[in-house]
Amino acid sequence: MKFKPNESGGVAIELGPKECQLPMPEGSPDEESVAVFSLKRILVPVDFSDCSKKALEYAVRFARQFGAELTLLHVVPRYPPVPEMGPIDVETLQEGRAQLEVVRLTIGDLAPCGTLLRTGTPHMEIIEAAKEQSIDLIIIATHGHKGLTRALLGSTTERVVREAPCPVLVVREKEREFLQKD
């Protein structure tokens, strides 16, 4: 366990990979009430964008710290999304499977990792996969679309947050970085 002062005058506590909670003094009345995170299965929806790669970085760190297994999920939509005034690339299942395998191989031995490939409406497939796989946490990226683009395409992340059967960690494209490079 490491204690580090932060810029706002507070203290950050960093737990090691084998530590799962802050120690409490023996006999402390709150000793029994301290909740311990039990993350065994983490779902990471990937669309191969830079945003989802960033979410994957977070997921790998969580998996290593909690000894959890990652499940990478890619959903190939049955119908192409509404175009944003440009050509539509229709992805095939074979392309999705190949790209998913490349991402899995980049994780290597950092964390146990499996893959799922589905077709359908992305937010619905993510929620169903989380239920079926008994997922403890979903780590998902958001592209931060606004205005007309968001209205036309909808927000997969927003729908997952509202309907997921477990907690959801949303990784934004542009945010204050809290991952420290090894």
Structural domain tally of the chain? 1
Give the domain range for residue 132.
37-79+105-172
Q: Consecutive sets of 10 residues in the chain, 182 residues long: mean pLDDT of each?
A: 66 69 58 66 93 91 93 85 51 84 90 93 95 96 62 72 93 70 59
pLDDT of 152 reads 44
Residue 16 in domain: no
**Predicted structure pTM score:** 0.71
Residue 133 in domain: yes
- Cα separation, 115 vs 74, whole angstroms: 8
pLDDT of 58 reads 92
Measure Cα distances from 93 to 71, 76, 78, 133 in Å: 18, 7, 10, 21
Residue 116 in domain: yes
pLDDT of 62 reads 92
- Cα separation, 124 vs 73, whole angstroms: 12
| Domain harbouring 109, CATH code | 3.40.50.620
Residue 93 in domain: no
